A and B are shown apart, each in its own frame.
Chain A
Amino acid sequence: MMRYLWLVPVMPLLGFLVLAFFGRNLRKSIITLIGTGTVGLSALLVILIGIEFLTSPPAGNAFTLKLWTWMSSGGLSPSIAFYLDGLSLAFIFVVTFVGFLIHVYSSEYMRDDEGFARFLAFMNLFVSAMLILVLADNLALMYLGWEGVGLCSFLLIGFWYKESANAAAARKAFIVTRVGDTAMALGLFLLITEFNTLDIRSILETAPAHWTPGSAKVVWIAFLLLGGAVGKSAQLPLQTWLPDAMAGPSPVSALIHAATMVTAGVYLIARNHVVFELAPIAMKTVAIVGASTLLIAGFAAVVQYDIKRVLAYSTISQIGYMFLALGVGAWSAGIFHFMIHAFFKALLFLGAGAVIHALHHEQNIFKMGGLRKEMPVIFWTFLAGSGALAALPLVTAGFYSKDAILWYSWSSEKGSLFLWAAAFLGAFITSIYTFRMVFITFWGKMKTHIHLRPGRAMLIPLVVLAVLSIIGGFLETPHNLGHITLFSGMLSGVLPEVHILHSGAESTELILQVLTALTGFFGIYLAWHFWMKKPGFLFRLKQTRAGAALHHWWLTGWGFDWVYDLLIIRPFTWLSNINKNDIVDYISIAPSNLVVWLHNLTRRSQNGNLRWYAAGIALGLIITLTIALFL
């Protein structure tokens, strides 16, 4: 089965090609069939391959499928080759499976859009690119997928291209991530310089012998790769594009900007974990980036009133958790959180999409309300997702994945109190903003007329994802709660175990778990209190100058956009405007102007006057004689 691995990315690619070339001439049902079918087939294939992989693991717990040599020059010869191990398996499963669900959802959600075929085509292309990204056996090919997903993100954010704002958001996403990508590319160049290969496995195998931990080269490489990861995963300081990326249709937000693409950074770091472990300072940076991102995004989420922006900031924040996990060396915890997050965040986005869809493209939560009764399925599934996001203890998957991160940020040898505190505070804020959103949206009075009710194709994915958000956590539970390690077991061959510093402090773990659970509930209470019960307090707070400023500050995502605008964009456009006509041009015209000037000067000497000419000749004679005699 595994030799058909190449079909996994190729199926959606085929779908893309068919839709791109003939999409406009096909009936919608056929478009749906092709668009979702190819991804579905892929998902099926992944499940079959996964089963085979897990039941009869190949040698070395990894499988490589080389298709052809991409470019070979001077020893460097990256191939078009796919590499399957536990890590990539986890990723392709999420990508194809969640992707399939979202495709199904989209087939109804986007059906009436004039660009339906285009939408599915891009989605298919995205799935394909994402699969190439995670399956790549070398970093060059990974870079291909990496840029490919960026492209699809660009195309899909700007899907409703007639709005300038959407196009601008798309551009912003592409350019900001491209900044990270460039750093990553430099990292690749440095790797080439060091190893003359981009083959991930050989790099990982030779790296420990090649470098002493903390040597300058490896630190540089780790930081440059981190640059790429930060860009793609919308972490500090390149997180600004993700909230704007919500301009795209909700399924896009669900698939690309929540479940899959934005976690590519996590994948990249996990993939190159050896490099990062050799560069402790980079690891520390990853953790700090994660911690600070999760906080900043969390606070920003609290004040957002666009439902998708709340979710976007929450995504940034959750990816911050994953980074934190990676940074403290809890590799599999990070990946586990990725998977769970993919489930519940996709669910939340799809649910939000359904709401938006139903309310005639209304995204402001303050104009919603009371949908609990009107849209029960949506409500319940959304609640399940929110619970997972807020990590409600025991019943939600989010609890297990987040708890692991919290624990390791405390207990890992790379962890610290500060990291834990940040994560803890983050968890608290998470529950606040999550339930703020839930309460405002689903409780209270109806403010908007329901325009359209979701059909089956939209509801089934919601339900499936809700179920996964609940039960997904049981793949991996803390050792005081059953100690299931199905997930980390799958990754054990790929990613190293976390080194726990405070070993044996089981009581600590329990205390922390309880603490976390309690703060979660406290957050929910606060949300209820401030937004449902006594909304006046916050309103008054907003009236004060400091409150307003804080509100505005958080609303605009801590002003990063403003800073970038001031420091980079404005100088650049200013320069572009003043130098539109290329200053070098003036310099290059100067000689010709000089010649014309000289021409006008000398022209006067040819005045037609005979005596003047004679005088000229006499003068010439004098000059000639002077030169000949006296020089």
Chain B
Amino acid sequence: MLIAFYIAGVIAVVSTIMAVTRSNAVHALLYLIVSFLAAAVVLFVLGAHFAAALEVIVYAGAIMVLFVFVIMMLNIGGETEKAKERWLVPKRWIGPALMAAILFAILSYAILNQPVATASLSIVEPKTVGISLYTQYLLGVEIAAVMLMAGIIGAFHLGYTKRKSKHRFLKGE
């Protein structure tokens, strides 16, 4: 299992890096899906089976597909990005990478400076998750539902582009 963790971890990291650096948006997304799948493996190894499943289904499956969909719709697969981005200019990425590295270093410092001895990980069954979701976190689920509703209403409103008449406020523009 440990091996699986490491392999999955490495894949996740590498594919995420690829996802972040690819100039072709579709490629990037595909790498990201790989990354999510690897992350799902990690989650599985960590004992969160239910979460691992959700990671695959919702993240890699639903959300990323949404992204792909939009990219396809806008038809900005490679060219737009390529034309404008000069990728291998260090100026572009060195600062952010440095910052992220520092942040990672700080977090590593914090993680590795643990006064408590290494704890063991245990499996959390989907059942317990389900039970707590519908007992203790019932209100949370409600709120999440409202949140989704808000998201849907928002997306619905923003996605609406049918009429061509302009808003009165914007006629001047």
- Do these two chains interact? yes
A: residues with CB less than 8 A from B are 615, 618-619, 621-622, 625-626, 629
Docked-complex contact A622 and B110, CB < 8 angstroms = no
Docked-complex contact A618 and B109, CB < 8 angstroms = no
Give min CB distance, B89 to chain A, whole Å: 14
Q: Is B102 an interface residue (CB 8 A)?
A: yes
Return chain A residues, CB-CB under 8 Å to B103.
618, 621-622, 625
17 extra A-B contacts, CB within 8 A, seeds A618-B103, A622-B99, A629-B109: A615-B95, A615-B96, A615-B99, A618-B96, A618-B99, A618-B100, A619-B99, A621-B103, A622-B102, A622-B103, A622-B106, A625-B103, A625-B106, A625-B107, A626-B106, A629-B106, A629-B110
Return chain B residues, CB-CB under 8 Å to A621.
103
Give min CB distance, A614 to chain B, whole Å: 9
Report whether over half of chain B's contact residues are helix, strand or loop; otherwise say mixed: helix
Give B85-139 interface residues, CB cut-off 8 Å to A. 95-96, 99-100, 102-103, 106-107, 109-110
Number of interface residues of B (CB under 8 A): 10
B: residues with CB less than 8 A from A are 95-96, 99-100, 102-103, 106-107, 109-110
Give min CB distance, A625 to chain B, whole Å: 5
Return chain A residues, CB-CB under 8 Å to B109.
629
Chain B residue nearest to A621 (CB atoms) is B103
- 18 A-B residue pairs with Cβ-Cβ distance under 8 Å, sorted by A, are A615-B95, A615-B96, A615-B99, A618-B96, A618-B99, A618-B100, A621-B103, A622-B99, A622-B102, A622-B103, A622-B106, A625-B103, A625-B106, A625-B107, A626-B106, A629-B106, A629-B109, A629-B110
Return chain B residues, CB-CB under 8 Å to A629.
106, 109-110
Chain A residue nearest to B92 (CB atoms) is A611
Chain A residue nearest to B106 (CB atoms) is A625
Chain A residue nearest to B103 (CB atoms) is A622
Give min CB distance, A619 to chain B, whole Å: 6
Give min CB distance, A563 to chain B, whole Å: 72
Return chain A residues, CB-CB under 8 Å to B99.
615, 618-619, 622
Give min CB distance, A11 to chain B, whole Å: 85
Alpha-carbon distance between A615 and B103 when the two chains are bound, in angstroms: 12
Return chain B residues, CB-CB under 8 Å to A626.
106
Q: Which 3 A-B pairs rank lowest in CB-CB distance, beginning with the nearest?
A: A625-B106, A618-B99, A622-B102
Give min CB distance, B117 to chain A, whole Å: 21
Chain B residue nearest to A618 (CB atoms) is B99
Alpha-carbon distance between A161 and B164 when the two chains are bound, in angstroms: 84
Chain B residue nearest to A626 (CB atoms) is B106
Return chain A residues, CB-CB under 8 Å to B95.
615
Alpha-carbon distance between A615 and B93 when the two chains are bound, in angstroms: 11
Chain A residue nearest to B102 (CB atoms) is A622
Alpha-carbon distance between A619 and B103 when the two chains are bound, in angstroms: 9
Chain A residue nearest to B95 (CB atoms) is A615
Alpha-carbon distance between A625 and B103 when the two chains are bound, in angstroms: 8
Return chain B residues, CB-CB under 8 Å to A618.
96, 99-100, 103
Return chain B residues, CB-CB under 8 Å to A619.
99
Return chain A residues, CB-CB under 8 Å to B96.
615, 618
Alpha-carbon distance between A618 and B106 when the two chains are bound, in angstroms: 13
Give min CB distance, B160 to chain A, whole Å: 24
Return chain A residues, CB-CB under 8 Å to B106.
622, 625-626, 629
